[in-house]
């Protein structure tokens, strides 16, 4: 404090008379210092939060291409798009209220990943843990646990997958399923459903083909709770994208 007083005294003696000093006394100076300190700590906090969210987005499996996808920039040209957009908004908003699975099924480029990402981002901002992962990536993560040097075991990884608030499994049906993949899918969906954890499925397959691929047991579990089946059957949006 003594230093402040000395500083103000010195400033007073050297400042030309026509200049009004910012601080008339040490209390003013102290207040100014405190305000500055608060502003700078708020700005650091903001920066840290931004960094934290960026890291969470990366860990949530959201790919670069989809990072800017929101409900707002999902354009509506037909009634089907309106329906899936409204469903997605409502799903995200009511996520805390009920356990509910969803299946987005339909043609390529119709916005299944776009809306799944928008749901995921909304939930992340509401402190939920989400993961969007293709079935191929999921199987590759599980296969990594077979390596003796890997400290994460298969059951630990599956336990982690059960704890995620919303798990979205993408590209179901892109490649032929092995019996082992079916067992893993069954295990994950069965355990998530019995823990009342919601799961989303994204696929180009229609109901009959998805039923054939996953089997009655998995489809039956996906239908638990307030599950919803949404059809995305319109022209691909990809030809509209120029950059
Ligand atoms: N209605 C829309 N409004 C704005 N952008 C859209 C719309 N539909 C799709 N897109 C954009 O088009 C691209 C393709 O969409 P997306 O990847 O979500 O389709 P998809 O249904 O998951 O396709 P696939 O079955 O091939 O995986 C994305 O960049 C997405 O943001
Ligand atoms: Mg997709």
HSE at residue 84, side-chain half, CA atoms within 13 A, is 27
**8 A C-beta contact, residue 166 and residue 130:** yes
Summarize pLDDT for 171-193 with one digit per residue, the tens. Answer: 998 877 788 888 888 899 999 99
* Cross-strand bridge partners of residue 200: 102, 168
Per DSSP, the three-state class of 71 is coil
- Looking at the CA of residue 170, tell me the nearest atom of ligand 1: 27
* Cross-strand bridge partners of residue 131: 167
Alpha carbons 110 and 144: distance in angstroms, whole number: 32
Please report which ligand is nearest the Cα atom of 108: 1
Question: How far apart are the CA of 239 and the centre of ligand 1, in A?
Answer: 10
In this predicted structure, the answer to whether residue 149 has a pLDDT above a threshold of 70 is yes
HSE at residue 192, side-chain half, CA atoms within 13 A, is 30
List ligand 1's pocket residues with C-beta within 6 A.
65, 69, 73-75, 81, 108-114, 204, 232, 237-238, 241
Q: What is the pLDDT of residue 47?
A: 85
Question: How far apart are the CA of 108 and the centre of ligand 2, in A?
Answer: 7
Tokens matching residue 219: 């489809």
Summarize pLDDT for 11-49 with one digit per residue, the tens. Answer: 778 878 787 777 777 788 788 888 888 888 888 888 888
Q: What is the pLDDT of residue 1?
A: 59
Query: What rounded mean pLDDT belongs to the chain?
Result: 89
Closest residue to atom 14 of ligand 1, CA basis: 109
**How far are the Cα atoms of 116, 130, 202 from residue 65, in angstroms, in the given order?**
13, 18, 17
Summarize pLDDT for 39-85 with one digit per residue, the tens. Answer: 888 888 888 888 887 888 888 999 999 999 999 999 999 999 999 99
Give the predicted TM-score (pTM) of the model.
Answer: 0.83
User: 64: which DSSP letter?
Assistant: G
Let me know the angle formed at the C-alpha of 240 by 236 and 243, rounded to the nearest 5 degrees: 125
């Amino acid at each position: 404090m003594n230093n402040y007083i000395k500083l103000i005294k010195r400033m007073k003696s050297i400042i030309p008379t026509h200049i009004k000093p910012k601080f008339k006394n040490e209390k003013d100076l102290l207040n100014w210092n405190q305000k500055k300190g608060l502003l700078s700590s708020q700005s650091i906090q903001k920066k840290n939060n931004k960094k934290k969210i960026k890291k969470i987005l990366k860990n949530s499996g959201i790919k670069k291409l989809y990072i800017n996808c929101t409900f707002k920039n999902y354009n509506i040209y037909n009634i089907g798009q309106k329906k899936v957009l409204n469903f997605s908004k409502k799903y995200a908003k009511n996520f805390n209220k009920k356990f509910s699975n969803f299946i987005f099924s339909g043609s390529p480029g119709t916005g299944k990943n776009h809306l799944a990402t928008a749901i995921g981002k909304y939930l992340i901002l509401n402190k939920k843990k989400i993961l969007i992962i293709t079935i191929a990536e999921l199987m590759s993560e599980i296969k990594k646990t077979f390596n003796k040097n890997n400290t994460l075991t298969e059951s630990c990884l599956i336990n982690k997958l059960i704890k995620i608030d919303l798990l979205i499994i993408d590209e179901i049906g892109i490649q032929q399923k092995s019996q082992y993949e079916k067992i893993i899918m069954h295990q994950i969906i069965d355990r998530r459903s019995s823990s009342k954890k919601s799961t989303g499925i994204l696929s180009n397959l229609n109901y009959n083909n998805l039923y054939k691929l996953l089997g009655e047991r998995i489809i039956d579990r996906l239908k638990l709770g307030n599950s919803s089946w949404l059809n995305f059957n319109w022209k691909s949006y990809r030809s509209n994208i120029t950059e």
